[in-house]
Amino acid sequence: MLFRLHFYRALLLTVLLAFGLSACALFPARDPLNISVIGIEPLPGQDLEVRMAVKIRVQNPNESRIDYDGIALDLEVNGQPLAAGVSDQRGQIGRYSEEVLVVPVSITAFSVLRQAYGLSRLESLQGLPYVLRGKLAGGSLGTRRFTDSGTLDLPGSGSASW
């Protein structure tokens, strides 16, 4: 009797393991999205808040399209948080395709002061590091997170910005 109990437990465990491994095959491996910041434009602000429209190019190097229903962005410059924004836009990025998305972001007065203090300690405004983190919402299993980083030059540094 004890042998049968162990046998059935082992059989159940084997079946569950097989189902678990086959479930992983249902979610094909996807390549990460290629995200690039391609522009930043001013928007009308309110009181002590600065608003900007961040343009990002999203490239989908996968065999299936990506449906999204919302975008969130966080922008960090020179190691400090600068701006954050969300948009409830929805759409899709086709397989092996790209789209330009525009997301409004807000910059608070406190963020501007923090950046001004950090920039005042630098000798040059050239080559400031930035990190853009975000996500394309797509449901519980379809949300795609992304990161883009690089350097930028601020106006007055003697070269082109962004």
Q: The whole model's pTM is what? A: 0.69
Pick the CATH number of 34-152 from 2.60.40.1820, 3.40.50.2300, 3.40.50.300, 2.160.20.10: 2.60.40.1820
Query: Alpha helices of 32-156 — where are they, by DSSP H?
Result: 109-120
Q: How far apart are CA 130 and CA 133, in angstroms?
A: 10
> Is there a contact between 83 and 75 (Cβ–Cβ < 8 Å)?
yes
Domain ranges of the chain: 34-152
State pLDDT tens for residues 33-47.
898 888 889 999 888
Q: Is the dihedral of CA 90, 68, 162, 34 positive or negative?
A: negative
The highest-confidence range among 90-99, 120-129, 130-139, 147-156, by mean pLDDT, is: 90-99
